């Protein structure tokens, strides 16, 4: 997630299911409009402090993080009190009535959370790791990652990734390696929005050479 410090013009970020706990790197992303952080390790709603000065943020998916707690009403009201410009929270449209109620039931966040020693990465809680080790959770991760990746590709005017292509990521890989690969893919797609025509041509040529090399290798193995 630290890469976001170098992407002030980024508009869509998807980091679902990645063990992320700190949102500070996002506070420079002034053009950010959509942020997907479902099922991470965000323990405190005080992390919203870093999102309060993002003027274009309209979509936030934060569900299934520890910060959501056991009271869904208080959680939603607190998010909306601090981010009143949201139009959709956790895939549910925000209403004018909710925004008014949030001023009463929500908690105002005025300071960032205390710093933690745990770094963002593949380290997650025991409970989270155990849950993701199940077949159902792995399938859910793939489906959700595919949905978010294709949303980014749509923003870039690219064709969606077919399900059979996306699921070609080897199931024998560790969860950490698979997440890193998905993150690299998403980061590349997002960075492409920063390139001009000349830059995109260079990327196209490089990708073409890489594909030819892979195809040649596959033919030799056969």
Is the entire prediction scored with pTM above 0.75? no
DSSP characters for 127-147? HHHHHHTSHHHHHHHHHHHHH
For all residues of the chain together, what is the average pLDDT? Answer: 77
- The larger pLDDT score, comparing residue 101 to residue 175, is at 101
Query: Does the pLDDT of residue 109 top 90, yes or no?
Result: yes
User: Is residue 138 predicted with pLDDT exceeding 60?
Assistant: no
pLDDT at 157: 66
126, pLDDT greater than 50: no
Question: Which of 3.30.1490.270, 3.20.20.70, 3.40.50.1820, 3.80.10.10 is the CATH number of 2-105?
Answer: 3.80.10.10
Question: Per residue in 25-50, pLDDT tens?
Answer: 998 899 999 999 999 999 999 999 99
Contacts made by residues 151-157, CB under 8 angstroms, sequence distance 24+:
151/12, 151/14, 151/34, 152/12, 152/14, 152/186, 152/189, 152/190, 153/189, 155/11, 155/12, 155/193, 156/189, 156/192, 156/193
pLDDT in tens, 155-192: 656 667 666 555 434 444 445 566 666 667 777 777 77
Instruction: Classify burial at 208, counting beta carbons within 10 Å of its beta carbon; exposed 0-12, middle 13-18, buried 19 or more.
Output: exposed
Averaged pLDDT for residues 136-150: 57
pLDDT of residue 72: 93
User: Which pLDDT does position 108 carry in this prediction?
Assistant: 94
pLDDT of residue 152: 62
CA distance 120 to 53: 22
- What's the pLDDT at 192? 75
Residue ranges covered by each domain of the chain:
2-105
What percent of the chain shows pLDDT beyond 70? 68
Residue 207's pLDDT is what? 80
Which range (2-11, 92-101, 152-161, 168-177) has the least confidence?
A: 168-177
């Amino acid at each position: 997630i630290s890469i976001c410090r170098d992407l002030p013009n980024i508009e869509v970020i998807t980091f679902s299911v990645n063990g992320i706990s700190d949102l500070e790197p996002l506070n420079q992303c002034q053009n950010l409009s959509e942020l997907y952080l479902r099922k991470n390790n965000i323990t405190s709603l005080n992390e919203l402090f870093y999102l309060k000065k993002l003027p274009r943020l309209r979509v936030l998916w934060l569900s299934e993080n520890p910060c959501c707690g056991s009271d869904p009403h208080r959680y939603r009201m607190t998010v909306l009190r601090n981010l009143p410009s949201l139009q959709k929270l956790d895939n549910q449209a925000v209403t004018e009535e909710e925004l008014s109620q949030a001023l009463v039931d929500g908690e105002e966040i005025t300071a960032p959370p205390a710093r933690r020693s745990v770094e963002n990465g593949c380290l997650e809680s025991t409970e989270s790791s155990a849950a993701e080790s199940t077949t159902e959770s792995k399938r859910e991760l793939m489906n959700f990652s595919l949905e978010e990746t294709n949303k980014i590709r749509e923003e870039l005017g690219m064709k969606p990734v077919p399900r059979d292509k996306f699921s070609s990521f080897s199931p024998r890989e560790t969860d950490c390696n698979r997440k890193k690969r998905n993150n690299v893919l998403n980061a590349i797609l997002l960075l492409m929005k920063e390139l001009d025509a000349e830059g995109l041509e260079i990327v196209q040529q490089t990708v073409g050479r890489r594909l030819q090399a892979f195809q040649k290798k596959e033919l030799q193995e056969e």
